[in-house]
Structure 1
């Protein structure tokens, strides 16, 4: 950095002619206090002006010359000449401290290596490369951003380009505001090269090398990029690394900042490992590993409102609903379909709490989407309504449970289509079987075959861990598109994942595999369709969550941070966030932004294996359940636990689902029960229920679903039930917010689903060897 000689006694400035004043105004840097009037003689003035650009110029003279520009800048702003003021600032950017143009043919010394304007552009380009890179490497590569920024700033101030330095600080400081607030405050006070020489903070950075530990696998990737983009950012970043940094290549895998181990250690001010202790400058807490505590604050801004509907789709739906209202006017007391639609999809002038449709690309709408949206409005209007707090005594929900017999313990997962027409199971024998719920023959677009009510899908080479139908709804009773075929609204696709590491997409029209998605390293344990289709999420044994789209064979997002295998997934209703939970030692729930891949919330509290996740339709509440029989309700915005619901026995709660209003939660578990919970009622205290053998307050029978006779039961409980059990005299802890319990005889419940009409569908496998509910 350029050095300025100590002030000379004979170097002073004085009053000059108007021409000299104007010249000073045009060639000095802004933002300084008013200059004092000099008392030097006119002869000394000439000498002082001549010596202004020499190495003997004083810092006070430099400040005086720079201050004139600030006076002019303030005057232009006061008079409203904003464009003139902007041009003026651009012209004086490359003026040195002594009011003379700075040459861009810099020497090869570290103080004057590159043009001042290149530092900001270089940092921005390097930052984009880091942020848009693979999520697994993003954390370690971002360690270079802070030293590149701070040394760029010190260089600019040291060579007198304070305007460039101030612009760099203003445009970059938001990135480091939470991690380096004290350092940023110190940088803001450095406006002269003399300040840098006098600051212990700046001297520590300039006299020591900034240590950056990085995995060996990333070193080649980093320097290959810098050499490739030498003109755009490589020259600046490489020079800073060469002059001021020490890159230590360590023999380890990429660091994961949101892993259980990392969060646990940072919360206790412990280091990640011995390599990270040396990171940064000695005596200053600048290590980026510790700088990520903002993740633990859970304060990132969220957009939990509904996703606005595509304007073109909205206009088509409204037009068809108006026609439907004319043909079929609503019954007295019911709103029209258009009125119901406007309540469901209000037009907001400023949807601050909602994501933008441009944040995540979706395919254009089709005729099928118009019919589906119309039917959703109809079902929402005609549904069985659950209003307000139930007080733990109602409502009398109906539950229809399908029991699978003769499975020999091979069924590992179950899913129902959203129109309740189909049910699919995955097996440990690597195949999938799909039935019609009502026993009618399955539809098929393939060659004419025998009409059957079930089909077998073969392709996986390991146990199938999860299956999921695409969106579906009951079709309309008329074709709104005259002259063309009626759009099909049933489930057309089925997703499955397996221990073989594959995710398969099956067509339910031709009953064949359409695509195989590969990417996970090891078994894929769970999957879930996004609320708007097209995208789906998977979690696996490799501790990662991946976001896929139907039309791409590779994952669109790789979400890294869990310390152990992913055990459950859930989407936020607006499709902008996904929740994941890890098993065993981790047990933390993480909320990920689909837009940028960042972890925006962490929920900690479970002490046992977390087996189920579900987000409420209102987008504000998250429910999680574990094998200990606990259900936790979380406030998503605050990342705090609302309450714990207890009533299930031990063994696992395998499925959760909310009512349409988000006021009731339904759960199904290994203790052979379906339970209904009041979400809004505080869980204050608990009650002991003495369960006697044969206690059967809610009789729900099972019918066979084995490919010959479809199963169907619906006999709801007659009143509130505090708990169920099989062992005589066994006491069970039940919280007062349990509304009712629906016990089966010997059928652990694997899947529960609340329909858009607020009816509950459940499925399980009959286990004759089960004598009592596990504890």
Structure 2
């Protein structure tokens, strides 16, 4: 085969795939060996003109790719070969010869972009940001801080206000060690920055960098090749690159990325809090409204509620259940929401209808919490369940939604489930469970410590022992790398889910059951469907363990908190990261999304709670009051106005979401709040004694260092010596909490 240009094409090695038809080509006949010198072994003949042959070879391949229409492959080859001398040797990157190249190349490109056609300016300006970041980091890693600092100062204003947070994070770096420890620097080094360019703009850029290769163009090409993924689009295929759209943006000086550009999950504009209308669109738009009900199910629920209204008419001044249902639906219709087609669920059953009916009843009859009234916090109360004789063997606790059961995952690889009222657990169906009734059951199957337990969604138990809305299933995850689904009718394991190849730290049910998400030591989170043994999605992107996971209330998104100190939000439908939140200085130990779907609360082992506004992707505020050791559980009130937390310092704390954003006050040896009564549960045997646990205000005293408490804290409930593993707002707005007594 002759290549364009007349030079014979080099034959591939034996067994390689030929360019035509995919068939292997025969190996080339070996050349005559050189005569041995001084008794040495024969070697292959050297090409007569190495410089010419390398140049020809590059040209042959480029011409061939152009002829076949492989424009993107050709462009990538040009970028990578631009970092070579004509004979194939790499250009010098270190030493005095390369020192001015980063600054020189960047300055040349900056001037060229501003002198370019107005049609291409907006998209070419966006190329400057990753080049700026990596030029700076390369200079730092090459130990040229005297060049890096002036370069950074001279150019940082080009990228304000769109990249304010990233610039602020990168500015203190002056040594290679700083870059290795800096979260944002590591983020840019570990992930390729996505750029989307129209074909003409991309071709012009590559030609310019090739022409200026000796003046720093090759260094810019090398950065694009190593740290960027460039996606080219035809003008006709993407409305954003139409002539009308480009001309409309021609005078725009901003460089903010398109919504699908940048590092996946990390959007430099996400922390921007100004009023610049040009900043809209820097983040993917979220659908935070509630998942709509199926029309048939809505009809069934309405019919059931009408029957309930006839049997039990509302009290004077109280809504009928049908009126309450209509108000709930009307409130949800105003928001952008995912559709049932996007998130497939199995057809609704009679149990689903009964649960929705119960939710409407609870919503109408709940204790209402509207935040601070006249500066005084709401008078919420906490019911604390304390486990005794556990010998520090409990790893995790969960309460069922029907307020009937509590489960604890043990260090000794088993799970124990108790009745909350201490009475014997009645069988759900006659003849299924042959064991005599007891107030607890032990579930054995895992071969390692159990790190998470989670009851499937259910509704508060209604009249009669066999109510259809009671909890039926329990999930657990373990150091043995598996997740198990347990039937609470049979008290046996029914499914083992395998996929993680390291211990599984946390799991969470979707709001309607059916789906659940898990996170583990393998740095991934995984989405599962209960009736499939293999995961449906793998959410990969964290640099360290995924320690905590939770669902958005509409089940369209999941949240992951990691030991890399970041929180990410992922779309269930695509598996892509749509938000990333940075700001935690410790490992993230708890997360909860508000019931209205608008705010995420995340907590860390340094005692801070962060509130994130999901739609604009920004930090609302940071709340402090807990001691060191970690906040292990968070839960939201029904109205999403109050947050409750519990943790290692042995306190349950209540927080006002819309509270005053003032300077924190320092309290020494003082915890505001009062004690409460609860139930002691003895984990050493199966009996749960109904005794009152008095909790005195002196129990929460801190010694030594002051405890900083922000004004958002409404009240604090100290225990004696019980770290709080779990807190939960019920659907009636009662707080229940659980912990183990550690003398």
TM over 0.5: yes
Match of 1:512 among 492, 499, 519: 492
Instruction: For residues 392-425 of structure 1, give each alpha carbon's deviation from its aligned partner in whole angstroms, at most 9, with x where no partner exists.
Output: 6321111100000011110000000001100000
Instruction: For residues 451-477 of structure 1, give each alpha carbon's deviation from its aligned partner in whole angstroms, at most 9, with x where no partner exists.
Output: 101010000000000000001112443
Match of 2:228 among 284, 290, 304: 290
Matched with 1:453 is 439
Matched with 1:427 is 410
Compared CA separation, residues 622 and 716, structure 1 to 2 (3 A): farther
Instruction: For residues 260-284 of structure 1, give each alpha carbon's deviation from its aligned partner in whole angstroms, at most 9, with x where no partner exists.
Output: 99973377x75869xx9xx998555
Match of 1:265 among 162, 182, 185: 185
Instruction: For residues 550-601 of structure 1, give each alpha carbon's deviation from its aligned partner in whole angstroms, at most 9, with x where no partner exists.
Output: 0110000000000001111111111100110111xx1000000001001000
Q: CA deviation at 1:643?
A: 1.1
Instruction: For residues 601-620 of structure 1, give each alpha carbon's deviation from its aligned partner in whole angstroms, at most 9, with x where no partner exists.
Output: 01000101211101100111
Matched with 2:285 is 301
- 1:593 & 1:581 partners in 2: Cα distance? 15
Compared CA separation, residues 680 and 504, structure 1 to 2 (3 A): same
- 1:594 & 1:262 partners in 2: Cα distance? 30
Q: CA deviation at 1:703?
A: 2.2
Compared CA separation, residues 261 and 599, structure 1 to 2 (3 A): farther
Q: CA deviation at 1:714?
A: 8.7
Matched with 2:135 is none
Q: CA deviation at 1:311?
A: 1.1
Q: Are the counterparts in 1 of residues 371 and 642 from structure 2 also a CA contact under 8 Å? A: no
Which residues of 2 match residues 146-545 of structure 1 at below 5 A? 264-265=184-185, 282=218, 284=221, 286-287=224-225, 289-291=227-229, 292-293=261-262, 295-297=266-268, 298=270, 299-346=283-330, 353-390=336-373, 393-444=376-427, 445=429, 446-477=432-463, 488-545=468-525
Match of 2:733 among 754, 758, 768: 758
List gaps (5 residues or longer) in structure 1.
Answer: 3-107, 124-142, 151-181, 190-259, 480-485, 769-775
List gaps (5 residues or longer) in structure 2.
Answer: 5-62, 80-112, 121-179, 196-205, 211-217, 230-260, 271-282
- 1:271 & 1:443 partners in 2: Cα distance? 54
SS in structure 2 of the partner of residue 343 of structure 1: helix
Q: Are the counterparts in 2 of residues 624 and 631 from structure 1 also a CA contact under 8 Å? A: yes
Matched with 2:700 is 725
- 1:402 & 1:730 partners in 2: Cα distance? 30
Compared CA separation, residues 300 and 711, structure 1 to 2 (3 A): farther
> Alpha carbon RMSD of aligned pairs, Å?
3.5
SS in structure 2 of the partner of residue 379 of structure 1: helix
- 1:605 & 1:542 partners in 2: Cα distance? 23
- 1:688 & 1:347 partners in 2: Cα distance? 40
TM-score by length of 1: 0.61
Matched with 2:687 is 708
Q: CA deviation at 1:621?
A: 0.8
Q: CA deviation at 1:729?
A: 6.8
Higher gyration radius (CA): 1
Q: CA deviation at 1:730?
A: 5.6
Match of 1:605 among 577, 583, 602: 583
Compared CA separation, residues 478 and 431, structure 1 to 2 (3 A): closer
Q: CA deviation at 1:347?
A: 8.3
- 2:571 & 2:74 partners in 1: Cα distance? 22
Matched with 1:595 is 573
Instruction: For residues 468-503 of structure 1, give each alpha carbon's deviation from its aligned partner in whole angstroms, at most 9, with x where no partner exists.
Output: 000111244389xxxxxx762111000000000000
Matched with 1:195 is none
Q: Are the counterparts in 1 of residues 570 and 579 from structure 2 also a CA contact under 8 Å? A: yes
SS in structure 2 of the partner of residue 353 of structure 1: coil
Q: Are the counterparts in 2 of residues 399 and 716 from structure 1 also a CA contact under 8 Å? A: no
- 2:304 & 2:673 partners in 1: Cα distance? 49
Q: CA deviation at 1:187?
A: 13
- 1:372 & 1:272 partners in 2: Cα distance? 44
Compared CA separation, residues 760 and 447, structure 1 to 2 (3 A): closer
Q: What is the aligned length?
A: 516
Compared CA separation, residues 562 and 186, structure 1 to 2 (3 A): farther
Matched with 2:653 is 675
